[in-house]
């Protein structure tokens, strides 16, 4: 079997694993007992998959002050749950806020919420069914990774799968069980980094140096996050945080979740820069084995400065992009800039961005020192082995 064939077989295996995870495991993880097994009591709800089979009526409604929005009356055929096979009429836009992008068309698959009340059932559409597009996006991503990255790309996908497993099998369950989010996030992050690094790059000194640099940088990032989140008095009581408090009670550590989110959010960038620094140093020592560890370290700093300039901007834009609706919402308020920046959601993003960037900056010299010392040790060990082999001859 050729090397290319092995690459494609490995990639096909990764695609199969991803497909099974999306199609089989995912729905089972989110499965709830069917109301046919346990009838709903008043006040309970059921989520049903349904398809739009007819747009009965549509138009616009007046919201007052010259503002209007679209509305529709739809006929749906339920495809799952206790009402599978039945047809249901639903109105959209009369009691909820929608936009033109929210309008439904014949053939659209949606999630239909059935709320049981004393006066009968109430139905409303909660969202589109997006599993199909998401599945094919995952397939396209995995296929391109394998085609372009070949063996290493397939191994990186396997490392990603391992990271997802650690996240959902260890980090999140431990936090839900009441463990400290910071310690759990750091421990889980190190496990994720170890698995993804060794699966992708193999068991070698370059991977050892990168992992050591990531572990130390990640720990320092966690300490900085703990310091500044406490100093800035961030509580983590966002909309999602309020929902968690209602669902789990006051035992949930929302500030710890903010810290854990900063740590996990720094992983990808730290992985990139630490592996890049380690790879550069081992390439330098392979090109010139007479370089001392200090010379290697200086060269790595020159490379790292360019990496830092690009990655800090990347980190900032990633956080800003993820929070764009929130920032736009705050821009419409007529208040001083310092007051906007002081609001917790904005302050949280500032702390998240700057702490992550500081951890990124520290990762360059830390990984550079470790990789330089380890590279020189490898060169000296090989030289000693070669001398020993020559003396035996």
DSSP secondary structure letters along 162-201: HHHHHIIIIIHHHHHTT--HHHHHHHHHHHHHHHHHHHHH
Confidence band, pLDDT 50/70/90 cuts, at residue 30: very low
What six digits make up the tokens of 354? 């700057």
Q: Among 44-53, 148-157, 214-223, which stretch is predicted with the lowest mean pLDDT?
A: 148-157
352: burial class by Cβ within 10 Å (0-12, 13-18, 19+)? buried
CATH topology of domain 45-129: OB fold (Dihydrolipoamide Acetyltransferase, E2P) (2.40.50)
pLDDT of residue 53: 95
pLDDT of residue 262: 83
Rounded CA separation 134/136 (Å): 6
Q: Are 339 and 264 in contact (CB under 8 A)?
A: no
385: burial class by Cβ within 10 Å (0-12, 13-18, 19+)? exposed
pLDDT of residue 22: 45
pLDDT tens, residue by residue, 265-280: 778 778 888 998 999 9
Strand partners, 273: none
Confidence band, pLDDT 50/70/90 cuts, at residue 349: confident
Q: Among 7-11, 90-94, 132-136, 276-280, which stretch is predicted with the lowest mean pLDDT?
A: 7-11
Mean pLDDT of the chain: 80
pLDDT of residue 319: 65
First to last CA, the chain: 38
pTM of the model: 0.70
Q: Among 3-17, 314-328, 334-348, which stretch is predicted with the lowest mean pLDDT?
A: 3-17
pLDDT tens, residue by residue, 223-280: 898 899 888 888 877 666 666 777 776 677 788 888 888 888 778 778 888 998 999 9
Going by C-alpha positions, the residue among 144, 173, 213 that lies closest to residue 361 is: 213
Confidence band, pLDDT 50/70/90 cuts, at residue 29: very low
pLDDT of residue 210: 92
Residue predicted with more confidence, 3 or 358: 358
**pLDDT over 70, % of the chain:** 82
Rounded CA separation 201/372 (Å): 18
Residue predicted with more confidence, 325 or 131: 131
Q: Cβ contacts of residue 311 below 8 Å, gap of 6+?
A: 269, 272, 273, 360
What six digits make up the tokens of 181? 């989010």
Longest CA pairwise span in the chain (Å): 96
Helices and strands (DSSP H and E) totals, the chain: 12, 5
pLDDT of 15 higher than 50:
no
Confidence band, pLDDT 50/70/90 cuts, at residue 68: confident
Q: Are 351 and 260 in contact (CB under 8 A)?
A: no
pLDDT tens, residue by residue, 104-125: 999 999 999 998 877 778 898 9
Going by C-alpha positions, the residue among 268, 247, 238, 246 that lies closest to residue 356 is: 268
What are the extents of the domains in the chain? 45-129, 178-392
What contacts 24+ positions apart, CB below 8 Å, involve 77-80?
Answer: 77/50, 77/51, 77/53, 78/48, 78/49, 78/50, 78/112, 79/48, 79/49, 79/50, 79/51, 79/109, 80/48, 80/49
Q: Count how many residues are written for the chain.
A: 393
């Amino acid at each position: 079997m050729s090397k290319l064939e092995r690459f494609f077989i490995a990639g096909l295996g990764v695609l199969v694993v991803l497909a099974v995870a999306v199609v089989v495991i995912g729905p089972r993880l989110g499965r709830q007992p069917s109301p046919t097994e346990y009838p709903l009591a008043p006040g309970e709800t059921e989520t049903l998959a349904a398809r739009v089979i007819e747009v009965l009526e549509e138009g616009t409604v007046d919201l007052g002050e010259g503002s209007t929005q679209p509305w529709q009356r739809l006929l749906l055929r339920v495809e799952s749950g206790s009402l599978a096979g039945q047809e249901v009429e639903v109105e959209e836009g009369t009691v909820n806020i929608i936009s033109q992008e929210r309008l439904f068309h014949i053939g659209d698959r949606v999630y239909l919420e059935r709320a049981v009340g004393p006066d009968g059932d109430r139905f409303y559409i909660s969202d589109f069914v997006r599993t199909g597009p998401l599945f094919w996006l995952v397939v396209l991503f995995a296929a391109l990774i394998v085609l372009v990255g070949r063996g290493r790309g397939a191994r990186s996908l396997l490392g990603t799968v391992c990271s997802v497993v650690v996240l959902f099998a260890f980090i999140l369950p431990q936090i839900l069980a009441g463990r400290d989010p910071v310690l759990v996030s750091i421990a889980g992050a190190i496990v994720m980094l170890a698995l993804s690094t060794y699966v992708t790059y193999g068991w070698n000194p370059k991977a050892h140096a990168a992992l050591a640099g990531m572990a130390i940088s990640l720990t320092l990032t966690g300490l900085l996050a703990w310091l500044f989140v406490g100093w800035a008095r961030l509580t983590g009581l966002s909309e999602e945080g309020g929902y968690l408090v209602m669902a789990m009670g006051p035992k949930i550590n929302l500030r710890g979740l903010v810290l854990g989110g900063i740590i996990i959010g720094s992983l990808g960038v730290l992985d990139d820069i630490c592996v890049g620094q380690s790879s550069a140093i081992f390439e330098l020592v392979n090109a010139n084995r007479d370089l001392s560890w200090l010379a290697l370290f200086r060269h790595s700093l020159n490379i790292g400065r360019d990496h830092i300039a690009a990655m800090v901007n990347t980190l900032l834009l990633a956080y800003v992009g993820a929070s764009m609706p929130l920032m736009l919402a705050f821009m419409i308020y007529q208040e001083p800039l310092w007051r906007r920046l002081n609001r917790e959601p904005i302050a949280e993003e500032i702390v998240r961005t700057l702490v992550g960037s500081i951890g990124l900056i520290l990762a360059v010299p830390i990984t550079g020192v470790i990789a330089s010392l380890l590279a020189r040790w490898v060169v000296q060990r090989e030289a000693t082995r070669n001398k020993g082999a020559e003396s035996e001859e």
